[in-house]
Amino acid sequence: MIVFDLHCEHGHRFEGWFKSSSDFEDQVARGLMMCPECGTQVVSKAPMAPAVPAKGNSLPERASQPQMQPQPVPAASKTGEQTVSNARPPAEVQKALEVLAQAQAKALEKSTYVGKDFAKQSREMHYGERDEAVIHGQASLEEAKELAEEGVPVAPLPFPVAPPEELN
């Protein structure tokens, strides 16, 4: 596994674990990456400091030496864009995300994955061309906007969902 520091177009930073660098690129290309803070799918790798191991013959750092403290991240950049620290969110935020993830998982238990046919099948159900069912799948931003304009009841999932064929 490889860990990447990631960021979205709005400056939110977060961490992602992938099998390889190409696995990350593949997930981005297929629209499976999403910012956990704002939901945008415009996500890329953030600059990372290399992991440089200590030399085997170096002396361990003495406890009496002062330790460097992390510096706070500025609230806004020169351009006025918001930035966030990549520190762990507060416990109450983590708990809320866990509850939300559990609610999504429970809702998807009775849902059928339809992949890229989501917009087509949702529209057919809305217009009575097929039996109604609980489904989930993939839709482009444009398809989602069109469905909303037509009054088709759809909602984005808060967390990305891997297609069943990609699960272990």
- Whole-prediction pTM: 0.46
pLDDT 10s digits, 67-126: 444 444 444 444 444 444 556 778 888 888 888 888 888 888 888 989 899 999 999 999
User: 66-102 as b/e, with b when 16 or more CB fall inside 10 Å?
Assistant: eeeeeeeeeeeeeeeeeeeeeeeeeeeeeeeeeeeee
Q: So what's the pLDDT on residue 90?
A: 81
